[in-house]
Structure 1
Amino acid sequence: MPHLDKHRFAMQLSQISRAWRAELDRRLVGLGLSQARWLVLLHLSRFEAPPTQRELAQSVGVEGPTLARLLDGLEAQGLVSRQAVEEDRRAKKISLRPKAKPLIEQIETISTQLREELFSGISPEDLSRSQAVHAQILANLERRGSGAK
């Protein structure tokens, strides 16, 4: 792949990611949640058991202090609760409150609708090939990340 094509591909990936998040954020604005907050709720909803604050921060991809501020806001909205972990009083487990469930369902419905719109006209074969390319890029990034430590 010529250098220019790789550059263009990388720019498109970045633009798609940014535009996709912006459109989803625009559609979710009526829920009264910032992108960062609804992202935390979605990640939290995917854990089988309440995660620790550290586990949730790793899942969302944010630093601990950033997550703590987001959780403060979500807790004030009555959407999450924190409980001390018996084995380690410094650690906190994060749980969804019942009030969060309908919000998460709305987030899922809206994001599913957007996905359907965005993938309209793309064949399963093209989607599969794109996923393979993206998986290889992620694997290359992970190899670099683990080698840098």
Structure 2
Amino acid sequence: MTTVEEKLAEKGYTLPEPAAPLASYVPFVKSRNLLFISGQLPMQNGEIMTGHVGTDLSVEEGAKAAELCAVNIIAQIGAALTRDFGRLRDVVKLEGFVSCGPDFTQHPEVINGASELFAHVFCSRGSHCRTAVGVPSLPRGAAVEIAAVISID
């Protein structure tokens, strides 16, 4: 078991198979020392966590959805690096999208679910800059979607 898998297990997760794209795009692209991960949904065991945060879901449930997105980003990183997580230098940036109504303002607290998981799994290499915005809808009714930029060796 790798350190990444052990850290995920501490949070109650196993490293899932990376999700297949839902449309006409690739799940990741490597460009020199950067790895761009397409937006990942809060999917677990084939089920997507759906709903609008602030109306259908609490902020805490939204943060759990963001955490699931982070788990799926880690699965894509694993696929891109053939599970050699030692090649990950830094989580550079997260782009977080929260499905919510126009009056919702707690986007940062929701995306913290992903940020905190990256900090737990990758320690100082998990620190990153990020964007957290609200949107009226996401693919398949997902509550959250997160994309990532990763620096690799």
Same fold (TM over 0.5): no
Name the structure with the higher strand share: 2
TM-score when scaled to structure 2?
Answer: 0.24
Larger relative contact order (CA 8 Å, sep ≥ 6): 2
TM-score when scaled to structure 1?
Answer: 0.24
Name the structure with the higher helix share: 1
Larger radius of gyration: 1
